[in-house]
Structure 1
Amino acid sequence: MNPSTYYSALGGLPSQTQTLSSKAVFTTAYAVIPKTVMTDIVTSLLPHWDRTRAWILARPMTGFAETFSQYIVEILPGGGSARPEPDARVQAALFVVSGCMAVTLDGEKHELKTGSFAYVPAGSVWTISNDTGEVVRFHWVRKVFKVVDGLEAPPAIFSHEDDCAMHPMPDTDGRWATTRFIDPSDPRYDMHLNIVTFEPGGTIPFMETHVMEHGLYVLEGKAVYRLNADWVEVEAGDFMWLRAFCPQACYAGGPGRFRYLLYKDVNRHADLW
């Protein structure tokens, strides 16, 4: 397996000589937030977090994607939070793209390095800290957990990409594969966070159209992605945000691998109002 790399170069500000041309777009079906707009001036400071800033890439919006929020969080040395999550209903999925940090859950400390994944159940008592001398950056997906009567709550997960198998999609000769941090056969979980990998020439050969919402953050490489009626070229550092039933497909032309972090909501009945 090729060594994994994850895009993590954020911040700064474009020069005054740069043109305004951009692939940033927000439509009724999808949004593309390219890395070029993830500058210092769009960061947020979070309550009860020290030496930390966040790029908020997605949040629930009526009439668009409604199930999740997704942040890229940057913690300077000595920073972190003893009260990271303000809402006891909310679960968390974390994925580290650079540096190292510690998550303490119910009194047990877990060291997370680049490539580490953590799932923190709703209602957990947890803290997070950067005890190193280097900046740490990670993705944080937040979702209100949908409780099901008679179904026990899901347990926490701590793992690393290197410890998870890549599952090739059928009839693709390994050109399209998924690394799953959460067991897809376990209905206790109502969300997944996966890494999808395409080798050069790999493709989604049909227009996926489904109820799941998506956040797709490109970790490595480049490709052309079909979003609704449009083909969009994306590369490492770009974020795609898809509402339910947005048609989607992609073609990874190379020269290297194309990989992205994928959120989707799963395993629950549709809400009826």
Structure 2
Amino acid sequence: MKLQFYTPQNNTLKKYIEGYYFIIADDSEEPVHYWTFPNNYCILSANQNSIATQVDQKISISFTSDKNIASSLVFRYTSPIEVHYERPVNEITLYFKPLGLNQFASDLEKIFMHHDLLEYSPFPDFNETMGHIFNLINREQQIEELEKYWLSKLHTKDLGLITSIVSDIEADLKMEDIAKKHHISRQHINKIFLKNIGKSPSEYRKIYRFRNTVTRKKGTKSLTELSYDNLFYDQSHLNKDFKELTAVNPKMFFKNVDVNKENIWLFI
């Protein structure tokens, strides 16, 4: 499976999109599967001539002779998801930073009411545009058209309060302190978090710590050092969170995952 990852060329898009990748179908390749672990991105995918189904924590993507574009969104999961391609298909996937997709789509509050969502098209012309981009032969043209399209959909919103709360969560402030700082209740924080992020503050915090730990493991730090460097109470706290988010303990996780990969959230 040929996967090529890019960061946005446009500086405005860089504020909201972590990056995107293209998968090129190759009929000669065998079925492909990988595990992906919880993150705080909104992940929007478009697949050409394919059908995607989800059963529990497994997403299967299969080829169809029907000419179509299947688009899907993943925004909330707290355990590993297995992704299985019966055979590689053409795909474009975008990783939106927390609150990033909010600056483009207008229906996220309704969408975030669903815990799992597979089928999702953010705009009436999304699938048609993705089909046009798939059919461009030149990768530079594909990137230019993709970024031009998302810039045309940008409608900047004032998300100052939730942006500040997210920063407080990432700084590991206690919920009662965050509530006092912003003069709102903890219940209201939870409500606006679910409305704008699609997950609870506690879920976001746990995943944020986990992702920071994975990123910082590129050095030679011990698990004890990683625990305290990433705001875990102790190593047993780190062990507990890792088992919840990856289904294995940290030692086993780092033994089997190459943390030096550029696209660290995608472990093939």
* Larger gyration radius, structure 1 or structure 2: 2
Higher relative contact order (CA 8 A, sep 6+): 2
TM-score higher than 0.5: no
Q: TM-score, structure 2 length as denominator?
A: 0.38
Q: TM-score, structure 1 length as denominator?
A: 0.38
